[in-house]
Amino acid sequence: MSFIPGQPVSAVVQRIEIHKLWDGDNLILGFSIGGGIDQDPSQNPFSEDKADKGIYVTRVSKGGPAEVAGLRLGDKIMQVNGWDMTMVTHDQARKKLTKKNEDVVRLLVTRRSLEDAVRQSMMQH
Amino acid sequence: MDTESAYSGYSYYSGRSRGSHRHGERSRDRHKSRSKESSRSEKSVTINAPPAEPLLGDQSVRGEEVQDDNWGETTTAVTGTSEHSLSQEDIVRISKDLDDSVGLDCKRYLNVALSVILGLVVFLTPLAFLILPHLLWPDRLRACGTACEGLFISVAFKLLILLLAVWALFFRPPRAGLPRIFVFRALLATLVLLFVLSYWLFYGVRILDSQDEDYQGIVQYAVSLVDALLFIHYLAIVLLELRQLQPFFSLCVTRSTDGATQHYNLGQLSIQRAAVVILENYYKDFPVHNPALLAASKSRAAKHLAGLKVYNVDGPGENNAAAGIAQSQSRAMIAAAARRRDSSHNELYYEEAEHERRVRKRRARLVVAVEEAFTHIRRMQEEEQKKAPGDVMDPREAAQAIFPSMARALQKYLRTTRQQHLHSMESIQQHLAFSITNNMTPKAFLESYLTTGPTLQYGKDRWLARQWTLISEASVTSGLKDGSVFLLKCIDFSLVVTTKKIPYIQLAEEFIDPKSHKFMLRLQSETSV
Radius of gyration of chain A (CA): 15
Neighboring chain A residues of B529 at a CB cutoff of 8 Å: 28-29, 31-33, 94, 97-98
Residue B60 confidence (pLDDT) above 80: no
Q: Please, how many CA atoms are within 13 Å of residue B202, restricted to the half-sphere of its CB?
A: 12
* Cα–chain center distance at B142: 63
Give pLDDT tens digits for B269-280: 999 999 999 999
Nearest CA in chain B to A26: B529
CA distance B13 to B88: 12
> In which band, very low, low, confident or very high, does the pLDDT at B422 lie, cut at 50, 70 and 90?
confident
DSSP 8-state assignment for residue B461: G
Q: Is the pLDDT of residue B96 over 90?
A: no
Highest mean pLDDT among B127-136, B213-222, B478-487: B478-487
CB contact under 8 A, B525 and A28: no
Predicted confidence at residue B73, as pLDDT, reads 53
Predicted confidence at residue B78, as pLDDT, reads 46
Q: Are B527 and A40 an interchain contact pair (Cβ–Cβ within 8 Å)?
A: no
| Nearest Cα to Cα of residue B398 among B434, B433, B438 | B433
The band of B61, judged by pLDDT with boundaries at 50, 70 and 90, is: very low
Q: For position B189, what pLDDT does the model report?
A: 92
- Nearest in space to B260 (alpha carbons), one of B295, B291, B287: B287
Looking at residue B172, its pLDDT comes to 83
Is residue A99 predicted with pLDDT exceeding 80?
Answer: yes
Do A59 and B528 lie within an 8 Å CB cutoff? yes
Q: What is the mean pLDDT of residues A85-107?
A: 91
pLDDT at B308: 63
pLDDT digits (tens, 9 = 90+) for B346-356: 888 998 999 99
Asked if A32 lies within 8 A of B522 by C-beta distance, the reply is no
Q: Tell me the β-bridge partners of B472.
A: B486
Handedness of CA B358, B360, B363, B364 (dihedral sign): negative
Of B10-14, B90-94, B254-258, B267-271, which range is least confident? B10-14
Angle at B283 between CA B281 and CA B287, to 5 degrees: 110
SS3 state at A49: coil
Q: What pLDDT was estimated at residue B33?
A: 40
Segment B358-385 shows an average pLDDT of 88
Please name the residue of chain B whose CA is at the shortest distance from the CA of residue A28: B529
pLDDT tens per residue across span B38-50: 444 433 333 334 4
Please state which of the ranges A3-7, A26-30, B166-170, B404-408 shows the lowest mean pLDDT: A3-7
The residue of chain B nearest to residue A39, with distances taken between CA atoms, is: B523
The confidence score (pLDDT) of residue B317 equals: 53
Look at strands A31-34 and A55-60 and give their pairing. antiparallel
Beta bridge partners, A110, equal: A13, A76
Which of A29, A58, A97 is facing B526, going by the closest CB pair?
A58
CA-based nearest residue to B115, from B36, B68, B174: B174
Q: Give the separation between CA A76 and CA A89, rounded to whole angstroms.
A: 14
d(CA B520, nearest CA chain A) in Å = 10
Q: Quick check: B529 and A31 CB within 8 A?
A: yes
The band of B23, judged by pLDDT with boundaries at 50, 70 and 90, is very low
- Exposed (0-12), middle (13-18) or buried (19+): which is B527, by Cβ within 10 Å? middle
A44-67: average pLDDT: 90
CA distance A71 to A80: 13
% of chain B residues with pLDDT over 70: 74
Q: Which long-range contacts (CB under 8 A, 24 or more apart) does B125-131 make?
A: B125/B196, B125/B199, B125/B200, B125/B225, B126/B155, B126/B159, B126/B222, B126/B223, B126/B225, B126/B226, B127/B159, B129/B203, B129/B218, B129/B221, B129/B222, B129/B225, B130/B155, B130/B218, B130/B219, B130/B222
Across the interface, whether the CB atoms of B524 and A43 are under 8 A apart is answered: yes
Determine the distance in angstroms separating the CA of A9 from the nearest CA of chain B, rounded to an integer. 24
Average pLDDT, chain B: 78
pLDDT at B79 over 80: no
Asked if A29 is an interface residue toward chain B (Cβ–Cβ < 8 A), one would say: yes
- B431 neighbors B445 (Cβ within 8 angstroms): yes
Q: How close A100 gets to chain B, by Cα (Å)?
A: 12
What is the sign of the dihedral through the CA atoms of B379, B381, B385 and B388? negative
- Any residues with CB less than 8 A from the CB of B308 and at least 6 apart, and which? B333, B336, B337, B340
Q: pLDDT class for B480, splitting at 50, 70, 90? A: very high
Q: Which chain B residue has its CA at the smallest distance from A56's CA?
A: B526
Report the pLDDT averaged over residues B366-387.
Answer: 83
Model pLDDT, residue B223: 93
Report the residue of chain A nearest B525, measured CA to CA.
A34
% of residues, chain B, pLDDT over 90: 39
In chain A, residues with a C-beta closer than 8 Å to the C-beta of B519 are none
Who among B522, B523, B527 is closest to A32 (CB)? B527
Q: pLDDT, tens digit, for every residue of B183-233?
A: 898 999 999 999 999 999 999 998 888 888 888 888 999 999 999 999 999
Task: Report the pLDDT averaged over residues B465-485.
Answer: 90
Residue among A32, A38, A90 whose CB faces B528 most closely: A32
Q: Which residue in the set A44, A61, A90 is minimally distant from B525, CB to CB?
A: A90
**Calpha distance B16→B420 (Å, rounded):** 10
Determine the Cα–Cα distance for residues B363 and B410; give it in Å rounded to an integer.
9
Q: pLDDT category, B89, cuts 50, 70, 90?
A: low
| Best residue in A26, A85, A90, A97 for a mutation probing chain B (most B CBs within 10 Å) | A90
The Cα–Cα gap between B451 and B448 comes to: 6
Interface of A with B in 35-94 (CB under 8 A): 38-40, 43-44, 58-59, 61, 90, 94
B526:A31 CB<8 A: no
- CA-nearest residue to A66 within chain B is B529
Contacts across the A-B interface (CB distance below 8 Å): 38
Partner-chain contact B528 A31, CB within 8 Å: yes
Q: Which of residues 8-27 of A touch B (CB under 8 A)?
A: none
pLDDT at B2: 42
Q: Looking at chain A, how many residues does it have?
A: 125
B interface test, pick of A21, A55, A94 with most B CB neighbours within 10 Å: A94
CA distance B341 to chain A (A): 55
Question: For B64-71, what is the mean pLDDT?
Answer: 44
Question: Using only C-alpha atoms, what is the Rg of chain B?
Answer: 35
Three-class SS state of B121: helix
Average pLDDT over residues B125-146: 86
Q: Has residue B99 got a pLDDT over 80? A: no
Say what the pLDDT of residue B196 is: 94
Question: How near does any CA of chain B get to the CA of A13, in Å?
Answer: 21
Residue of B nearest to A23 (CA): B529
Mean predicted confidence (pLDDT) in B278-305? 83
Provide the pLDDT for residue B268.
93
Q: What is the mean pLDDT of residues B141-158?
A: 87
